[in-house]
Amino acid sequence: MPQTPKCEGCGVSLQSINAAGPGYVPLELFDKYENPLCQRCFRIRHYGSHYHVVSRYYTPQMVLDRLEKCGAVFYVTDLTDLTGTLNPDFLRRLPPRAMVLLNKFDLLPRYLTASAVKKKVSELYGIEKERLWPISTVNRYGIPGLKDLMLRDAENGFCGYVNAGKSSLINALLKNPLSEDNEELEKATTSPYPGTTYEPVTYDGGWARLVDVPGMENLSGICRWVDEKDRHLPGKTKRWHRKTCFIRQARAIFFSGLVKVEVEPEETVILQFYFGDNVSVHETNPTRAEEIYAHHCGTLLLPPYSPKFIKTWNWETRAASMEAGYDLCFSGLGWIYCSQGKAKMSVRFPEGLYIEKRTGFIKGTKVR
């Protein structure tokens, strides 16, 4: 029985019956092209149109089942969202020699070296430094050396949470940087929307076989409280921003429209907010906080990205203390670093959003 053809961009089984369903290809294209792309991948690549078919996520067990066939495993994480993409429990279930790839190294301050990043991640998560590998699919940092770590006679599996950059990494590995024509090697379909890869896809780079495993969904990340059509926006960024707040008296700070931080400083406190292009930070008087939220959530306070998406969420309020040298991280959103002083905080956020306190990831930043 002949196998059902797969889309080489996202791995979905191709079909020509349901035009609104995953894997649709007009019937006439099956005869015209040997390996046609599904309708969604075609629109993404040629028209930049992403929002057509519902995303697909793999459970951790589904990922592990596929990785059993791989001789080498690479766990792709996002350095700007380790809270949401580096799961210690999942890592423990991977083979002992699995490498942890620290993607988006280009977004961190330039003074941070790869060795410093590896040392910090090793301290935070208890991972051997030899298993950590900073990379960037934008400027190709770490890509040539990564090829040397891959097996030539077995499958190399790439796994991780959605939007960590697995498919972009696959394309970066397949590219020949000395060639001016790399268009034909853009095999894996990439999109800012989470869940673009539908089924595992194997690519033969000539020097190794690469398996792009669909991403796992972060159920406790900020995207859960963003309209589905906007879920690519919180993590979509070309640079990592920093906003510094000098707190000398009680203040309320909105870290997006979904997180409100009320600060009671014991002394002058300096808080540094780290976030992407599509996230806002707004400081105000605590007495005006609810008025500002009511009028500006979804416009001035982002995310969410539309006032129409404001829903009656279940809110959680948590007391926290912040001291110099610590971060308070919000999964999928960014983090707050306390560079000076000590303060009591009251943090309001949607119930279920994962928050983590850690020793400062970016230290020594000068405040101007």
Q: What is the model's pLDDT at position 171?
A: 86
Query: What Cα–Cα distance (Å) separates residue 190 from each residue in 107, 128, 321?
Result: 19, 30, 40
**Using an 8 Å Cβ cutoff, are 277 and 235 in contact?**
no
- Where b means 16+ CB within 10 Å and e means fewer, 8-18 reads bbbbbebbeee
Q: How far apart are CA 257 and CA 8, in angstroms?
A: 39
Q: Place 367 in a pLDDT band, splitting at 50, 70 and 90.
A: very low
Least reliable range by pLDDT among 49-58, 71-80, 314-323: 49-58
Look at residue 134 and tell me whether its pLDDT is greater than 70. yes
Query: What Cα–Cα distance (Å) separates residue 130 from each residue in 111, 122, 313?
Result: 21, 9, 43
Least reliable range by pLDDT among 228-232, 302-306, 321-325: 228-232
Q: How far apart are CA 163 and CA 217, in angstroms?
A: 9
Look at residue 102 and tell me whether its pLDDT is greater than 60. yes
Residue 112's φ and ψ, nearest 5 degrees, are -80, 115
Enter the pTM of the model. Answer: 0.87
Q: Place 341 in a pLDDT band, splitting at 50, 70 and 90.
A: very high
Longest dimension (CA), the chain: 74
Query: What Cα–Cα distance (Å) separates residue 115 from each residue in 74, 129, 132, 134, 135?
Result: 19, 9, 10, 9, 12
Amino acid at position 129, single letter: K
**3-state percent breakdown (helix, strand, coil) of the chain, nearest 5:** 25, 30, 45
Q: How far apart are CA 169 and CA 99, in angstroms?
A: 14
Q: Place 274 in a pLDDT band, splitting at 50, 70 and 90.
A: very high
**63-86 per-position pLDDT tens digit:** 999 999 999 999 999 999 999 999
Question: Around 75, how many Cα atoms within 13 Å sit in the side-chain half-sphere?
Answer: 25
Given the DSSP bridges, would you call strands 355-359 and 132-134 parallel, antiparallel or unpaired? unpaired
Q: How far apart are CA 12 and CA 128, in angstroms?
A: 36
**253-265 per-position pLDDT tens digit:** 999 999 999 999 9
CATH (residue range 60-218): 3.40.50.300
Look at residue 365 and tell me whether its pLDDT is greater than 50. no
Residue range 50-68: mean pLDDT, rounded:
79
Q: Spell out the domain ranges in the chain.
A: 60-218, 241-359
